[in-house]
Amino acid sequence: MVASANCGHWSLLSADKPDARCYRLGAVLINRRTFLFAASASTLAACTSRTRLAGGADAAPAGNSNSKPNPDPKKLPASIAMVGDSITARSQTALQRVLTQVGFSSITINAEPSRRIEAGTKKPTPGIELIKFIAASDTPGMWVIALGTNDAGLYANDSDYQSLIDKALKLIADKTPLVWMNAYRHDQLKGCEQFNSVLRNTLKRRGNATVGEWYQQCTDTKEAILTNDGVHPNDAGILVFADTIRAAIATRLT
């Protein structure tokens, strides 16, 4: 049975399939001053896990003053899929606009609070299950994975993190370019550093992959970009997170 949710809420595709959330968005100039207005003024529509967008934003968020330019259009695939947790969910409106501005014509973003890479059931759906679902529906030309924050600190050994990452990577063809955002949370710094080290080494061996430097943004910036919980981005951090992903995509596709 298929049921549709109201605008801005999760859309249940079926009882046996992961749910998806996506927005149809018009062209909006995003910056620190206008973000809240733009987010509230946008038209949100419940839809399937794939959104095809025409046109793009007037400008990408300037969250990182050292950002790389946009990717080479000749290397840009038509479609991109992103799987994430509550950090991605909080940033989803900005991400949709940024990815549209970059030039992707088909954008899939599935984000759910408390999502882990493998552990979990239907709520939240584990990341690995979402990757399987999206890949089976329509193999995207590029992937962004933003998972690990809810796994950091829960495993003792590098081999445990290695196993999680490897299981996800096996579902993505080596020929498909990949960005994986590293993890940051103030209450699990050692766990994040351990996870991030394993992630970096694993992606280096895989090739055709780039680490998105979210941990570095959270620790190096002179501006507060996180809420008081030390995990989730605030309004400024949402822009930094989206632009960090854009910069990582540019690194991979230039």
Which domains can be identified in the chain, with CATH numbers? Answer: 48-252 (3.40.50.1110)
**How much is the pLDDT for 67?**
52
Distance, CA of 123 to CA of 52 (rounded, Å)? 26
Amino acid at 51: T
Per-residue pLDDT, 22: 35
Helix (H) or strand (E) holding 72: none
Amino acid sitting at position 113: P
Q: What is the pLDDT of residue 70?
A: 81
CA contacts within 13 A on the Cβ side of 32? 11
List, for the chain, all residue ranges whose pLDDT scores fall below the cut of 70. Answer: 1-68, 121, 221
Single pTM value for the model:
0.76
Q: Which of 172, 123, 119 is nearest to 145 (CA)?
A: 172
